[in-house]
Amino acid sequence: MGRKRCVGADCSKMAAGCCGVKKQKLSGSPGSGGPGGVGAGSGVAGTGHCGSELGLGSSATVAAAANVSRANGLGGPGGNVSGGSSSGSSGTNALSPAPAGYTSSGLSPNLSPGPGSGSGGRKMVVSAEMCCFCFDVLYCHLYGYQPPRTPRFTNDPYPLFVTWKIGRDKRLRGCIGTFSAMNLHSGLREYTLTSALKDSRFPPMTRDELPRLFCSVSLLTNFEDVGDYLDWEVGVHGIRIEFFNEKGSKRTATYLPEVAKEQGWDHIQTIDSLLRKGGYKAPITNDFRKTIKLTRYRSEKMTMGYAEYIAHRQHHHYQNGIGHPLPPYNHYS
């Protein structure tokens, strides 16, 4: 089906989307907004959120700090749009091997690599240490400590998302990312706080919420434009769509790879949800679906809960010194 790989920086121009959500009803009625709620921005790269009640991937953009494409890969109502959009293998964007000590092997069974993590036995780049670092960054910010030291995991550039969920039912608490390849050290610092504090669908996080949080880091890879809007696999690929709404404005929206599977959607339901999320209000016909430009992509994902974070940090610091030193918090004593 005529495919064209999206290589390197070209992919970075796409805004990102959200990851997880609660089950939502799919509605094709005009003006309903459909799953994912209000959404996508114009076709220009911008910032956005990922998760909401329902949703992953609204293309709305959040005007946060840097001039980078941000997007939420989860869904639900989008934030303040600033020209943004959202997020998408057979492509071959090679990943550099992870430094020794930072693979996912040997981790607590509670640490869970997400769907699409790794491929063909290749070592994953994403690691538990990245989730730990995100928790460190958030903890330091909320308690007014100096930011954590530079971590030891690779600083190679990747498009990325940071997702926060909370509680036993793991409700979405914030999810924002970028399709621009960013060096991981600075990218994770930035999007840790952006997703925790500036996801317009949620109030900023507080200290009291920390013990109930779960952090997921998703690194996006293998972007590929496909000629058929059905040419992707549920549970394997994330998708980013680009389309023109009823007024002729270009819109985009994205879902991370896990979204469709978690919602129990098939291809058509996922596409229609993304269209509603992106702000398309007219009736959705099969002819219109065929006009969509679709980019599919894969991701490596690691998830860690707060309790695992504390245990992991203490273990590495006190027993074998792997990872950057613990900040001098009374919290760890």
**DSSP assignments along 98-162, one per residue:** PPTT-SSTT--TT-EE-TT-SSTTPPPS--HHHHHHHHHHHHHHHHTPPPPPPPSS---EEEEEE
User: pLDDT (tens digit, 9 = 90+) per residue, 244-286?
Assistant: 999 999 999 999 999 999 999 999 999 999 999 899 999 999 9
The confidence score (pLDDT) of residue 312 equals 83
Specify the amino acid at residue 233: E
Task: Let me know: does 180 contact 161? Beta carbons within 8 Å.
Answer: no
Quick one: DSSP state of residue 326? P
Q: What is the largest CA-CA distance in the chain?
A: 62
Neighbours of 65 (CB within 10 A): 12
Q: What is the DSSP string of 253-277?
A: EEE-HHHHHHHT--HHHHHHHHHHH
The confidence score (pLDDT) of residue 14 equals 35
Burial letters 270-284, b for 16+ CB under 10 A, else e: bbbbbbbbbbbbeeb
pTM of the model: 0.67
Residue whose structure tokens are 């980019």: 295
Residue partners of 32: CB distance under 8 A and separation at least 6: 276, 281
Task: Let me know: does 253 contact 17? Beta carbons within 8 Å.
Answer: yes
Q: Which of 256, 298, 245 is nearest to 81 (CA)?
A: 245
- Could you tell me the domains of the chain? 125-221+301-322 (3.30.700.20), 230-291 (no CATH)
**Cα–Cα distance for residue pair 141/135, rounded to 1 Å:** 10
**Cα–Cα distance for residue pair 252/260, rounded to 1 Å:** 17
* Alpha-carbon distance values, 296 to 18, 222, 231, 236 (Å): 15, 8, 8, 10
The confidence score (pLDDT) of residue 313 equals 79
The confidence score (pLDDT) of residue 317 equals 58
Instruction: Please give the distance of CA 106 from its chain centroid, rounded to a whole number.
Output: 25
What is the pLDDT tens value at each position of the chain, 333 positions in all?
444 333 333 333 333 445 433 333 333 333 333 323 223 333 323 334 443 333 333 333 222 333 334 455 544 333 322 222 233 322 222 222 222 222 233 333 345 555 545 544 568 899 999 999 999 999 999 999 999 989 999 999 999 999 999 999 999 999 999 999 999 999 999 999 999 999 998 999 999 999 999 999 999 999 999 999 999 999 999 999 999 999 999 999 999 999 999 999 999 999 999 999 899 999 999 999 999 999 999 999 999 999 999 988 777 654 444 444 455 443 433
The confidence score (pLDDT) of residue 122 equals 65
Establish how many alpha carbons lie within 13 A of residue 133's alpha carbon, considering only the half-sphere containing its beta carbon: 27
The confidence score (pLDDT) of residue 113 equals 55
The confidence score (pLDDT) of residue 30 equals 31
Residues 142/145/150/151 CA torsion (nearest 10 deg): -50
The confidence score (pLDDT) of residue 236 equals 96
The confidence score (pLDDT) of residue 45 equals 33
